[in-house]
Structure 1
Amino acid sequence: MQRDNIHVFKSTGAGYFTFILTILLAFSPPLFSQQPPRVESSTDTASIRIGEQIQWTVVVEVDSTAQVIFPEGQTFSPLETVEAYKTDTTRKKDRMLLQKTYALTQFDSGGYLLPTQRIEIDGKGYFTDSLFVMVATIPVDTVNQKMFDIKPMMEVETSPWGWLGWLALGLLVLLLGGFAYYWFYLRKKPLTEAEKEALLPPYERAMKELKRLEESRYLIQDEYKQYYTELTGIVRAYLEEEVHISALESTTAQLLEKLELLRDAGKLDLEESTLRQFQGILETADLVKFAKNKPELRKAEEDRTHVEEIVRKTKEALPEPTEEELLQQETYRMAMAEQQRKRKVRFALAGVGGLVLIGLIGAIAYYGFSNVKDYLIGTPSKSLLEGEWVASSYGYPPVILETPEVLYRKEIELPPEARATIKDLDAFAYDDTRAHLSIATLSTVFNKPDEEPDYEGAVEQILSGFEKNGARNIITKQEDFTTVSGVPGIRVFGRGEFKIPDSDRFLKGKYTILLFGGNGFMQQVVLSWEEEDPYAEEIVARILKTIEVKTVI
């Protein structure tokens, strides 16, 4: 864990540590015979002008097997890190010399303390020296260079297409969906000729097809095979649908045998002459289709006329349908109508789904995937940010701030050793495990009115609490903080990996610790949140703008 700019010295533990170290030195000669690490730091200058850079270099001499971790990120605050150069490594026998250089700058004039930096060697922290840096202003020629007043603020009209745009998009999708539902489901479309013909009874459909065959040009074009194929197909389809026998896939002999069985059973009142006539037509058709026989034109025309008579006689020979058969036919028609209705519904749903998909793709292209996802699904932190906030005062001395939810009092049992120093402690907190957001305030009053607050010790306790709860790889930075009303304080902030309660998983998080105080008291505000949550970032930024503290007790 890296903690820059934080030093905690406890006199009560120094003697115990020295005693333990003496025992280890006395009884462990091989382990401590190695040379200790050496850490040195230097800069190329201690005075710059605004925008110029300081080259800060740290040299570490360690054993060749040691693991060294240099500071990363903006750990030099109030100076800004411009660039961290690559580490230069030199080996000499069993020792290793590491040199790391950082380019630092500052854009405000004044005197700045370059803080100590923590170098981690085999898990142990070593600190560099601090340095005072002067940043001078650049002189401006106000005689020859004309100066102009600051331009006044201009009012800019805000775009009305915020939530109105989403409303218009939703109404458009609903309108298109309603139109698709009407067009594919409610609207009665005119039937095509093929659909009208398919709805005709079998007899009328067969007679219409025979009439169309009579008007065809098959016989004129010498296409007898096609002519007889359609002719026998018409009569076979009629028999299969009306008489309910498998006629399309039966041979001539099988079809005639089935008709004779129906006649003998009294279910089809056909004369023998009609069956023999039908047999002759089928045999002629077989000769034309399979033996390439070519009958006379007059014979072919007569066969079509005979088939028409056979269809008519077959219809007359059929007995009247029973009530059960009529019920079956009605059930069949209802099933077909239901199937057609379901087909229309599927088309309508597909149309609406397509329109919704197109609208969704357009919204993602314009607003971005994350914004659309958060708008449709929502996130816990987004709900907190957009909900009704609460402004309240907590503890004594009071800490005043606005939060998404009310902070609740936490009862803290002070250990006996703490009671000797602390007179009163007020703690309030709110913790949302779904949004991974935690807010806490602490107000402490000391027994001695002139006692100064120990900021470093307080930060150390908070970071130790993070570690006890499973946090790891904590990086710490420090800077000054001032409330809106001008009360100065200290801000310690950073990031780390925080353990999710009741699981073995970790998430990347950030934290901020604000410390205020004076003689006899101290106030703390502790915030922690998920690093990659933009709504949590907005929540924290809003809280920091509203913090106020009372510095008189």
Structure 2
Amino acid sequence: MKKILYILLLFTTSLFAQKVTTSIDSTKKKIGAEFKLTIKTDVDTFSKVKFPNGKFFGNLEVLESYKIDTIRTGNRYELIKKYGLTQFDSGKYLVPKLPVIINGKKVFSDSIKIEISDVKVDTLKQKMYDIKNIIPVKSDFGNWWIYLLILLGLAVIGYFVYRFIKKKKTEEKPVVIEFKSPIEKATSLLQQLEKKELWQKGEIKNYYSELTDIARNYIEEEIQIPAMESTTSELILGLRNAAKQKKLKLSAETVENLEKVLKQADLVKFAKVKPLDFEIEEDKKRISNSIVTIHNSIPEIVEENDELELWNEQQKEKARLEKLKKEKRKRIIIGVSVSVFLIVTTLGVLIAIKGFDYVKDNFIGHPTKDLVEGEWIFSEYGNPTVKIETPKVLKRMDAEKVLPKNAMALIKEMQIFMYGSLTDDFYIGVSTATFKQQVQLDLEQAAEGSLKVFEAQGATNIFVKTEEFDTQQGIKGRKAYGTMVMVDKISGKSVKMYYEILVFGQNNGLQQITIMHREDDKYGKQMLERILNSVELQNISQP
């Protein structure tokens, strides 16, 4: 019967060949008493075994980790490790699966459920005290001037930080070397390039990129053609046309040598070709000779060139417009920086006065707060019917796709509805089922089955308490509640969750409601209380 119930609650387990056995001296003790947990391994004499170590196993504190006992049987060892565990709060706890490393591989021990009961106190002999009066809380807004000083202090700090950064940027501006002529600039840059020894260090692509940029920049400044923006073929064509128009004394060999280097550079940059050392030396000489030859081929200008003056004027106007553009961009950056600073400062002051929760709820956003304040829906789900009020309509899941076929053969009808998932900030689940055959339902076992589902989904440190629960119609059920740790899929961090599970069994049918939210989420707590107060069940035990 328990097997059928576990299948109903979506619990599946896998059996692994284990080398580890687990036992405990008792499953029920009083607060503070010691549980002795024993883990045994059966290995050969060459195996290396490492038992778990830590101050806590789940919610249980490790009082003592005893020495390992060894029993040899032939060519095998039985290693016995004992731990002393305790807990100082009553309730039902789970000794989690513990990893035992055998020859570098993890083998997990079995989880064991234990129960810790309260120590009975004789309240007749305990003196009783009256409830204390309400203590008024002083408002912090009387010290408004402190927050004003904080705001002013932050503003002053921000101003000096801005001045420091601005001064730093001014000091870090690179020193610009001015050259008298393009040939002087090109020659100096070629010498600096050789001192870097890029291709000797294996940076061939960077070497060819700088080498050809020097040649292109020289041609653009000396002959006034757009060499930096042109492809290799466009540059060579433009150079030949300029040679005809300006009557440059350029030989075909000079242009061909320049074209060879540019094409070689294209292959290095885009086809990942790696020239040999002597080829690199030859390309360097071709570029140097081409620059000198182009310089010597330019005829001396005796009269003023009107076209050159027009080009110079255009360049001056272009530089002026570029300067205005940079100043405008600078003003935008300063404006945005000041706005961001004011926003951050304002939020900081609000956090200091109102607290982080106030800022998060009203400025940053809180998803569960939106659910609380949204329009709720009161609807019916499943058979036997569960009436419940929720912030969103629950989505129907296909039970046949979730459960195996042999399990569905035992169930007459099953319906599942949910919102969110077990790893979200808030989760609601409603499931109903009726069996084909008469089944004696154990609600306590049903709640434990749901906890097994949590554990299969990656939940750890599960703390659980159970008690009876009555609906407003007087239908009796069982409630399991407590906390567990789940892993946030987005941040990868562990999140402590609070959960409550309601289970009802009526006339060979099962009704279950599961609610979960972050433990520190006050809006999740508000939704849980509102949902539980709205629960209405179809009483199928009555005609």
TM-score by length of 1: 0.45
TM-score by length of 2: 0.46
Larger radius of gyration: 1
